[in-house]
């Protein structure tokens, strides 16, 4: 018994020793920066004068929420709502439709899947550079096609106009995010037992009734989880905006996370950290509310 206890203790020590590097990496590169950022949100933190850091309390938050003509914060909040809602709606609906098509095998389905999944394998910055060229006001392929079709009389600067810059980036974001839903929902749909559809057919159920009574209930946990994750990822996806418009023109295409990066880039670390804290709070509230109304914890596998 003593030998067995000693062996068990050594195994425990070995497991802890192997876990230490991973735990240390998470603490150093995830939790420490997050905690440091929360502290900086209540400071007037200037990188050129780090020896004279002042506590300003809620001063940075007050500056953000005080409405002034030059304050872009409220505009970025509204842009963020449009960025998330429009992108999510079209990514989900198009992705779901493609997943239904890919559920059954057909000639060339493997090639078709590869074409659909391709955008998900490319970085956001590369996608942004590609779409920035496509939306180019002088030599872009989109302008060329629209002019030849007669929709436009002359090339239009989609990324140079405040009224269209954000929506142009949203189009690129929709294209980029569709494969995520296709991958997740295709896997979920293939897990629905065929016996359920056969039994429904015997009972005379229509295709629409099968969809609402069998397909949706069976894949509901996957739907809830994918929608939750995708909202968080779209919210925290400023790379596309930076590579396509850099937030311009005149800050009209900034969302809250790209505005945070721009603020930190201007060396206003305190204000940038305050925006980061607001982002964490917004996403935390959304996640809790979403999981409560969907009753995710009550769903059965």
Element at 55 (helix H, strand E): strand 54-55
Write the CA distances from 97 to 103, 172, 230, integer angstroms.
10, 19, 17
Q: Can you give the pLDDT at residue 165? A: 92
- Answer yes or no: are the C-beta atoms of 197 and 214 closer than 8 Å: yes
Q: Can you give the pLDDT at residue 234? A: 93
Element at 44 (helix H, strand E): strand 43-44
Q: Can you give the pLDDT at residue 44? A: 86
Q: 71-298: what fold? A: MetI-like fold (1.10.3720)
- Cα 203 to chain centroid, rounded: 42
Q: Can you give the pLDDT at residue 123? A: 80
Q: Can you give the pLDDT at residue 61? A: 92
Q: Can you give the pLDDT at residue 153? A: 84
- Answer yes or no: are the C-beta atoms of 72 and 262 closer than 8 Å: no
Q: Any long-range contacts for 167-172 (C-beta under 8 Å, 24+ apart)?
A: 167/86, 168/131, 168/135, 168/244, 168/245, 169/83, 169/128, 169/131, 169/240, 169/241, 169/244, 169/245, 169/253, 170/82, 170/83, 170/86, 170/87, 171/131, 172/127, 172/128, 172/131, 172/240, 172/244
Please list, in sequence order, all residues whose beta carbon lies within 8 angstroms of the beta carbon of residue 257, skipping any fewer than 6 positions away.
80, 235, 236, 237, 238, 279
- Provide the 3-class DSSP secondary structure of residue 43: strand
Q: Can you give the pLDDT at residue 79? A: 94
C-alpha to C-alpha distance for 40 and 24, rounded to whole angstroms: 22
Tokens describing residue 176:
């980029």
φ and ψ at residue 268, rounded to 5 degrees? -90, 75
C-alpha to C-alpha distance for 243 and 176, rounded to whole angstroms: 14
Residues of the chain with pLDDT under 50: 301
Q: Can you give the pLDDT at residue 124? A: 81
Instruction: Round the CA-based radius of gyration of the chain to a whole number and report it.
Output: 25
For the chain, what's the residue count?
301
Q: Can you give the pLDDT at residue 201? A: 84
* For helices 269-294 and 216-235, angle between their N-to-C axes, nearest 10 degrees: 170
Distance from the first to the final alpha carbon of the chain: 41
Q: Can you give the pLDDT at residue 3? A: 61
Residue whose entry in the numeric block shows the structure tokens 């876990």: 19
C-alpha to C-alpha distance for 80 and 24, rounded to whole angstroms: 34
Note the helical H segments in 41-123.
Answer: 59-65, 73-102, 109-117
- In tens, the pLDDT along 157-200 reads 899 889 899 999 999 999 999 989 988 898 888 888 888 888 88
């Amino acid at each position: 018994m003593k030998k067995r206890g000693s062996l068990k203790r050594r195994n425990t020590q070995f497991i802890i020793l192997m876990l230490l590097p991973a735990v240390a990496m998470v603490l150093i590169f995830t939790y420490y920066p997050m905690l440091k950022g929360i502290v900086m949100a209540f400071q007037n933190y200037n990188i050129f004068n780090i020896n004279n850091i002042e506590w300003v309390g809620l001063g940075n938050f007050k500056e953000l929420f005080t409405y002034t003509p030059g304050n872009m914060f409220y505009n970025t909040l509204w842009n963020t709502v449009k960025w998330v809602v429009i992108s999510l709606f079209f990514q989900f609906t198009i992705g779901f439709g493609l997943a239904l098509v890919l559920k059954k095998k057909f000639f060339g389905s493997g090639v078709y899947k590869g074409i659909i999944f391709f955008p998900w394998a490319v970085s956001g910055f590369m996608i942004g550079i590609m779409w920035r060229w496509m939306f180019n006001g002088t030599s872009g392929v989109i302008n060329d096609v629209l002019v030849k079709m007669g929709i436009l009389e002359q090339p239009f600067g989609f990324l140079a106009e405040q009224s269209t810059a954000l929506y142009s980036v949203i189009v690129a974001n929709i294209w980029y995010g569709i494969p995520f839903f296709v991958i997740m929902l295709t896997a979920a749909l293939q897990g629905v037992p065929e016996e359920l559809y056969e039994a429904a057919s015997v009972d005379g159920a229509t295709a629409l009734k099968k969809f609402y009574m069998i397909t949706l209930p069976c894949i509901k946990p996957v739907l809830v989880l994918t929608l939750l994750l995708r909202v968080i990822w779209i919210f925290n996806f400023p790379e596309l905006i930076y590579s396509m418009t850099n937030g311009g023109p005149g800050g009209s295409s900034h969302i809250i996370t790209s505005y945070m990066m721009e603020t930190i880039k201007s060396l206003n670390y305190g204000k940038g950290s305050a925006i980061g804290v607001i982002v964490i709070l917004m996403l935390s509230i959304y996640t809790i509310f979403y999981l409560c109304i969907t009753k995710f914890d009550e769903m059965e596998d």
